[in-house]
Amino acid sequence: MADIIKLLPDHVANQIAAGEVVQRPASVVKELLENAIDAGATLIKLIVKDGGKALLQVVDNGKGMSETDARLSFERHATSKISSAQDLFNLQTKGFRGEALASIAAIAHVDMLTRIEDMEVGTHIKIEGSKVVSQEVVATPKGTSISVKNLFFNIPARRNFLKSNQVELRHITDEFHRVALVHPNIEFHFYNNGSEIFNLPKVNYRQRIAHVFGSRMTERLVPVEEETEVVNISGFICKPEYAKKSRGEQFFFANNRFIKSPYLHHAVVVAFEGLIKPDAFPGYFIYLEVDPKSIDINIHPTKTEVKFDDEHALYAMLRSTIKHSLGQFNVAPILDFEHDPNLDTPYAYKEKGVVLPKVTVDADFNPFQDTLKTTAGKPAFQKQSAKGWENLYQGLDIEETGSFSSVEIETDTVVQRVMYSEDEMETQAGTTFQLQRKYVVSTIKSGLLVVHQNRAHERILFEKFLGEITVKEGVSQQLLFPLELSFSNQDLDILKEVRESLYNVGFAFEDLDQETVKVTGVPVLVSESGIGTVLDRLIADYKEGYQEGSISQAELLAEALSRNLAVKTGEVLDHESQLALVNNLFGCKEPTLSPRQKQIYTIISEGDIDKKIN
């Protein structure tokens, strides 16, 4: 039998490795930024074009590379970060595998310009699909500049899976935030299609957070700090009143590296228990410093998932530290068992003396006497006689009036009879009721109709908003006093992107070029107190929706608005609202499925009921 196992060519192996390291343009940005930081750069520039598909360039003023190092940097498993397996347990740098540049060069056109400080000239290398096209001497500033063009040019199937430029830019911005927030001592510049998005000078952690997410973020932050033998915890948490209905600014950093840890996230949520609503998410920027030997960051190619030696102790310390900070800065109520607030004297009575109340009693008062004596010059009380009460009902025909149960009361609401289907789905007026504050049950010709109230209202609102966005006939209620809301730069970009669609629904904005946005008009269904919550959820749903699928912007906004404004499970509906919900549902084009493709109603036939009873 002939041998069938063969060694893969280097360019094929590099492309396979690139599938683990490079998932999208944001992955390239992460690797290049981390390499620049490991090179000791104090100034880093990120330049992006067309969502990273056309160009990704990172320029730094780090130590640079010699001619030999520049060529070796594109070889697999070539690195200056580690020299033995033991170094994996004492990592001080961000990169250490030596796969990033080799993987990037395998699927893109790469240009590198680099020079070390001691050399007068540098090196220029061009690589296309792992093949070195040219290498020459060139005059270049100290440091390194790497340009990645035409990502996935030789893997068209992979390129087709990339999302729109806006979505890819959003992922790049997220990676930029994760790197910039943990290195405030480095100056960052971020350019997209020729315009500057971020200009971050060297500052402290608090100022860096404000520069990234807006100046108003500083008033929301509460410092967190604790030093123990196991871990040093520092950073900031957002005040409970600024908790969002969607996942917002939530960052964990371990040894200056962004990490994802649902376990530690749960510790933060538990610390906020009782201060925020169960469906709200707190914001936090937590920096952890642990012994490099007690953490394993080599369990995932992206190095964002890590493993701690003693997670249980870390969980308890993080939770208690956050609780302490909330109490220390008077964000959470504190129990003081040595102080009794019932003994406090109100401020208005602090200087007044004690006055005993005077009570006077009329000893001669008798409620059963018809006539009372006149006292102190006051008129006497005369009890009215009840004789002749039958005369009040003279002239009334009791038989014609009947009982009150037969009296019909007119209402302004007229409920029409609606046909759900030709032969069986016919509602009978006045025969609906709410079940467990979740379902609306109505009798029909063939049995019972059970409607999920939340999904039904979502479908009704979805078709309503989708029609308004498409036809541009949304009704807006103008606010007497414009409401000022603050958003981060990333959220502002999303609002600008969907501004026209929001305007068609009924939203009106005065200015979207500043951190503070003035809302002057809202849809009729949105209350003034819920404007901020609706917009926050809308932005979060828009981010998640565009990451998932290929639906249009109008459908995405209509779905997000309907999800946020629909009747929730647990809300009580009166009889008229129940009838309107059922009638409006079967006036929709697609009454069977919700916007998220879930079943809205079911029919329990008379036969099904007979089977249960028999």
What CA–CA distance (Å, rounded) separates 204 from 339?
39
pLDDT for 404: 45
DSSP SS3 for 444: strand
Task: Give the 3-state DSSP-derived string for 107-123, with helices as H, strands as E and coil as C.
Answer: CCEEEEEEECCCCCCEE
Residue type, 160: N
User: What ranges in 289-415 are assigned the alpha helix state H?
Assistant: 311-328, 398-401
Report the residue count for the chain.
614
Q: 286 near 318, Cβ under 8 Å?
A: yes
And the tokens for 18? 């690139």
- Tally of CB atoms within 10 A around 294: 14
- Tally of CB atoms within 10 A around 387: 7
Burial class (CB in 10 A: 0-12, 13-18, 19+), 246: middle
Task: Spell out the residues 6+ positions from residue 496 whose beta carbon is closer than 8 angstroms to its own.
Answer: 512
What ranges do the domains of the chain cover? 10-200, 207-328, 416-614
Helix axis angle, 311-328 relative to 262-271, nearest 10°?
A: 30
φ, ψ of residue 206 in degrees (nearest 5): -65, -45
pLDDT for 512: 74
**CA-based nearest residue to 583, from 446, 456, 448:** 456
Q: 420 near 426, Cβ under 8 Å?
A: yes
In sequence order, what DSSP letters do the residues of 508-519 get, joined into one string? EES-SSSSEEEE
Task: Spell out the residues 6+ positions from residue 208 whose beta carbon is closer than 8 angstroms to its own.
Answer: 180, 181, 184, 200
What is the DSSP code (8-state) at residue 591? -
Q: Euclidean distance between the first and final Cα of the chain, in Å?
A: 69
What CA–CA distance (Å, rounded) separates 608 from 282?
47
Query: Residue written as tokens 């010059």?
Result: 377
Residue 358 to residues 274, 315, 355, 361: CA-CA distances in angstroms? 46, 62, 9, 10
What CA–CA distance (Å, rounded) separates 343 from 358?
24
DSSP SS3 for 453: helix
What CA–CA distance (Å, rounded) separates 305 from 301?
9
Q: What residue ranges of the chain have pLDDT lower than 70? A: 1, 11, 14-20, 77-98, 298-303, 330-352, 369-430, 545-551, 614
Q: Up-side HSE of residue 420: CA atoms within 13 Å toward CB?
A: 25
pLDDT for 411: 44
What CA–CA distance (Å, rounded) separates 565 from 587?
19
What is the DSSP code (8-state) at residue 53? T
For residue 144, give the H/E element and its range.
strand 143-149
Strand-pair category, 250-254 with 284-290 = parallel
In sequence order, what DSSP letters do the residues of 54-85 get, joined into one string? SEEEEEE-S----HHHHHHTTSTT--SS-SSG
10-200 placed in CATH 3.40.50.720: no
Q: Which CATH superfamily is domain 416-614 in?
A: MutL, C-terminal domain, regulatory subdomain (3.30.1370.100)
207-328 placed in CATH 3.30.230.10: yes
